[in-house]
Structure 1
Amino acid sequence: MAFVPSLIFSIIYLLGAFGVYKYRKQKDDPDIFFFESCWTIFALLIYLAVLELRTGSFYILIPILLGSLFLVSYRRNKHRLINGLLFNVFILSFGGYLIINLFRTEDILVGGLLAVLLAIFLAVLLFGLVTLVIFLYWNSLVVFRRESHSIANLLTLLLAIVLTIFLFSDVLLHPFPQWVQVLFGIAPVSLLYLFIVFLNFLSVSILYQFNHPRYDQDFIIVLGAGLLNGETVSPLLAQRINKAIDFYHLQFKAKKQAPRLLMSGGQGSDEKVPEAIAMKEYAVSNGIPDGEVLVEANSTTTLENMQFSKEVMDALKPQGYKAIFSSNNYHIFRAGLYADQAGVNADGIGARTALYYLPNAFLREFVAILFMHKKRHIVVLSGIVLFYVIAALLQMYFT
């Protein structure tokens, strides 16, 4: 009868999940997944806490404390890279807790949950570095066929080449002296460091996709992007505007008060009109009243988007306001960092991007964020280089 508690919990959980779905559906809420996730986490914690009480142990407090630390940090400021690190540490502690709990209780539900986590881990191992390299080459070919041939669009290819060299490093280094092989240790350790940083960045970027702004906004800043033929809204930019338009209609339906759209984007050297003007024309042609669309046409970078948009909003509502910004899903986390720098208290909503473009886009965002915190990374990587240079010198002169 050990399965009875798991069965009862499963029934309660499914009923609760159905109730959440029906309630949010009645509210015309597009983010049902967010609330379903909250219900899942809450129900699971209650179930695990009951198991702990039955066994008289308190191991669950470790992941709860680490999870609480992450939630406090994330709630205070969603635009922090350390949130990714805290989340990953929480996941590791939770996995360890499930292993301990399974051996103590032999609970079917805990075993199933652990099996899912182990399956994900094994999939990563099975489809490891070699498969990643093959995927990167394939993706770079797709991007090469569909996008412009700029350096920014070749990042997956460059990463694939670097990883290919790394895979064959043992063969390539075999003829060289031992001290050269020691010196090459810089590469795997540096790659490991950058992988951990990237994993933290990717985790917090994915978490940020579940941002759920309330329907009480005064402004939606729409971040500009390049125009087609210097005057037409591109498909990528249209996605950003459409995301803002969708939120506009949802808020009006929920609260009968719509936010104003603030189009932000200047005129590039190869553009006939400022991006913001073209964006406004697109929004108006898609049913947004002309008076509800504001224009900021002087910015040339994301930081300036935020700074100049803040000036517009401050002038219109000096007593205070609520705002969000709209961009593509891969870009909203870095845009949030710039919002913080500009003193804009706003979270982002992300428009969907073609799947084939996401690997390259996230790599580009990662490189940009590395440069935003270049001093920190230079110090760490310099320490790695110094350590292996000293080790190579010792190998050269004392063996």
Structure 2
Amino acid sequence: MGVIGEITIGSIYLILLIGYFIWLRKKDKSRKSLWLFSGAYFLLYLVLIEILNHSFYLIIPALFFGLFYYFYQRDKPRLRNGWLFTLFLVVFATYLVAISFLGQSYITIGLLGILGIIFLFVLLFGLYALIIFLIGNSYIVLKKESHSIANLLTLILAVALIAWLVIQQIGPEILPQWALILLSIPSTILVYFFLIFWNFLLISLIYQLNQPKFNQDYLIVLGAGLIDGEKVSPILASRINRGIAFYHQQFAKAKRTPILLMSGGKGSDEKISEAEAMKNYAVEQGIPSEDILLEATSTNTYENMLFSKKLMDRLTPAGYQVIFTSNNFHIFRGAMFADQVGLKADGIGAKTAKYYLPNAFLREFAAIILMNKRRHLIVCAVIVLLFFLISMLNLIFT
């Protein structure tokens, strides 16, 4: 294409991008479309490169994306979808490398250069930067939230990473040669859980892009703990507010509103059920009480979905459309439970304070691990056994 052509395309792209960004700010619209616009423009650029080079390499990553999209649309709350999208990313990155040098694309070469610098930085300083971030984040969480185990996860992870670094440093100095192999056990397990976390985080972020249709009969609001046993907490209020926002959006689009199904039982330290407290809050926000339904016996997310499904099945045996709302970090696991009870319902996420997100996603990850604890215990046991056998062979034959 040449340097002048690349500069022209890049300049047009920047002008259009800046103009679109200004328009979005004036209209106060979501910036998700800005990412879609950027991706569409870059895709058109790649198509142009292919046409000029009389090649069809773009079909290969397109097929892998199609594979991910098919399985994702077929069954969204599946962890396998994260692996399929990761496979697409690897294939697409390989494609960019090929098109950069075969097609001599300066834009893609520049993009790969930037990504390479970022990867090199992460490789050299990423772990230390992560530890500093986790410690700083844990300080903020403990300052603003209760000092529960659930709110200490970022601090616990930081301490575990520091301990791992110390062991890796002093281990070679105090252990015999054959035992050094055993130091690979925590490293391998750490890499294994990092890959599992990457997959979970990736599919959780993709799941945030859900755009349910405005034809819902019910909207389940998942409960959370109450303040003083009767008042909704800020985190629960955000879930209700997200449900109320969709309630009004659907009325504006389709001239009919969904029933808000408040789901949450009464804890031993609560004066009223979470569902009743949620209804009181929603009524204060202007929602008519006749548009609110209560499910007041559940004690966890699985029961939220199960008991809500039974209630809706009884009230609307002919079938219904339903979605649910919870905090953005929680909706993927909520969808997994909905799938388990046979409830086809997508989740829409309520915003969560940014400082709380790292701890929240770690908590969700821990819950996902526990859902499949047998599988992960088997993998960890195999890792330990494998390196133990290697170390014993090293001791015997050296």
Q: Normalising to structure 2: TM-score of the pair?
A: 0.92
Larger deviation, residues 112-121 vs 83-92: 112-121
Counterpart of 1:83, as a letter, is: N
- In structure 1, the gaps of 5 or more residues are none
Among 86, 90, 104, which residue is 2:84 paired with? 86
Inter-CA distance 21–256: structure 2 relative to 1 (3 Å threshold):
farther
Inter-CA distance 130–341: structure 2 relative to 1 (3 Å threshold):
same
Tell me the SS of whatever aligns to 1:185. helix
Q: Which residue of structure 2 lines up, in the alignment, with residue 271 of structure 1?
A: 270
Equivalent-residue separation in structure 2 for 1:5 and 1:164 (angstroms): 46
Equivalent-residue separation in structure 2 for 1:18 and 1:145 (angstroms): 41
Give the C-alpha shift of residue 268 in structure 1.
0.5
Give the C-alpha shift of residue 218 in structure 1.
1.1
Give the C-alpha shift of residue 20 in structure 1.
11
Tell me the SS of whatever aligns to 1:184. helix
Give the C-alpha shift of residue 22 in structure 1.
7.1
Q: Which residue of structure 1 lines up, in the alignment, with residue 350 of structure 2?
A: 351
Q: Which residue of structure 1 lines up, in the alignment, with residue 5 of structure 2?
A: 4
Counterpart of 2:5, as a letter, is: V
Q: Which residue of structure 1 lines up, in the alignment, with residue 314 of structure 2?
A: 315
Equivalent-residue separation in structure 2 for 1:6 and 1:68 (angstroms): 32
Q: Which residue of structure 2 lines up, in the alignment, with residue 76 of structure 1?
A: 74
Is 1:233–1:282's contact at 8 Å kept on the other side of the alignment? Answer: yes
C-alpha deviations, 1:358-377, integer Å up to 9, x for none? 11111110010011112221
Structure 2 counterparts to residues 177-326 of structure 1, below 5 A:
177-326=176-325
Equivalent-residue separation in structure 1 for 2:385 and 2:354 (angstroms): 40
Inter-CA distance 322–385: structure 2 relative to 1 (3 Å threshold):
same
Cα-Cα RMSD: 2.4
Larger deviation, residues 265-274 vs 97-106: 97-106
Q: How many residues align?
A: 396
Larger deviation, residues 74-83 vs 143-152: 143-152
Identity across the alignment (%): 50
C-alpha deviations, 1:127-160, integer Å up to 9, x for none? 4101111111121222222222221111111111
Equivalent-residue separation in structure 1 for 2:102 and 2:396 (angstroms): 54
Q: Does 1:114 align with 2:112?
A: yes
Equivalent-residue separation in structure 2 for 1:74 and 1:10 (angstroms): 36
Among 169, 172, 177, which residue is 1:171 paired with? 169
Counterpart of 2:231, as a letter, is: T
C-alpha deviations, 1:183-210, integer Å up to 9, x for none? 1211000100100010010111111111
Is 1:9–1:47's contact at 8 Å kept on the other side of the alignment? Answer: no
Is 2:210–2:347's contact at 8 Å kept on the other side of the alignment? Answer: yes
Equivalent-residue separation in structure 2 for 1:164 and 1:209 (angstroms): 32
Equivalent-residue separation in structure 1 for 2:348 and 2:225 (angstroms): 19
Equivalent-residue separation in structure 1 for 2:140 and 2:319 (angstroms): 46
C-alpha deviations, 1:214-247, integer Å up to 9, x for none? 1111111000000001110000100000010111
Is 1:59–1:97's contact at 8 Å kept on the other side of the alignment? Answer: yes
Inter-CA distance 314–3: structure 2 relative to 1 (3 Å threshold):
farther
Counterpart of 2:328, as a letter, is: N
Q: Which residue of structure 1 lines up, in the alignment, with residue 134 of structure 2?
A: 136
Q: Which residue of structure 2 lines up, in the alignment, with residue 384 of structure 1?
A: 383
Q: Which residue of structure 1 lines up, in the alignment, with residue 392 of structure 2?
A: 393
Give the C-alpha shift of residue 269 in structure 1.
0.6
Equivalent-residue separation in structure 1 for 2:14 and 2:293 (angstroms): 46
Is 1:327–1:350's contact at 8 Å kept on the other side of the alignment? Answer: yes
Give the C-alpha shift of residue 287 in structure 1.
0.6
Counterpart of 1:7, as a letter, is: T
Inter-CA distance 9–251: structure 2 relative to 1 (3 Å threshold):
farther
Equivalent-residue separation in structure 2 for 1:89 and 1:128 (angstroms): 23
Larger deviation, residues 308-317 vs 270-279: 308-317
Q: Which residue of structure 1 lines up, in the alignment, with residue 93 of structure 2?
A: 95
Tell me the SS of whatever aligns to 1:345. coil
Give the C-alpha shift of residue 8 in structure 1.
4.9
Tell me the SS of whatever aligns to 2:174. coil
Equivalent-residue separation in structure 2 for 1:292 and 1:38 (angstroms): 35
Inter-CA distance 158–19: structure 2 relative to 1 (3 Å threshold):
closer
Give the C-alpha shift of residue 37 in structure 1.
3.7
Tell me the SS of whatever aligns to 1:80. coil
Equivalent-residue separation in structure 2 for 1:120 and 1:57 (angstroms): 30
Equivalent-residue separation in structure 1 for 2:181 and 2:111 (angstroms): 42
Is 1:152–1:364's contact at 8 Å kept on the other side of the alignment? Answer: yes
Is 2:332–2:347's contact at 8 Å kept on the other side of the alignment? Answer: yes
Equivalent-residue separation in structure 1 for 2:216 and 2:373 (angstroms): 35
Larger deviation, residues 251-260 vs 41-50: 41-50
Give the C-alpha shift of residue 50 in structure 1.
2.9
Give the C-alpha shift of residue 35 in structure 1.
4.1
Larger deviation, residues 251-260 vs 377-386: 377-386
Q: Which residue of structure 1 lines up, in the alignment, with residue 50 of structure 2?
A: 52
Inter-CA distance 170–16: structure 2 relative to 1 (3 Å threshold):
closer
C-alpha deviations, 1:336-394, integer Å up to 9, x for none? 10010011101111111111111111111001001111222122212111101101211
Q: Which residue of structure 1 lines up, in the alignment, with residue 156 of structure 2?
A: 158
Give the C-alpha shift of residue 113 in structure 1.
3.4
Equivalent-residue separation in structure 1 for 2:321 and 2:7 (angstroms): 44
Counterpart of 1:124, as a letter, is: V
Equivalent-residue separation in structure 2 for 1:215 and 1:132 (angstroms): 41
Larger deviation, residues 111-120 vs 177-186: 111-120
Tell me the SS of whatever aligns to 1:3. helix
Q: Does 1:373 align with 2:372?
A: yes
Larger deviation, residues 239-248 vs 207-216: 207-216
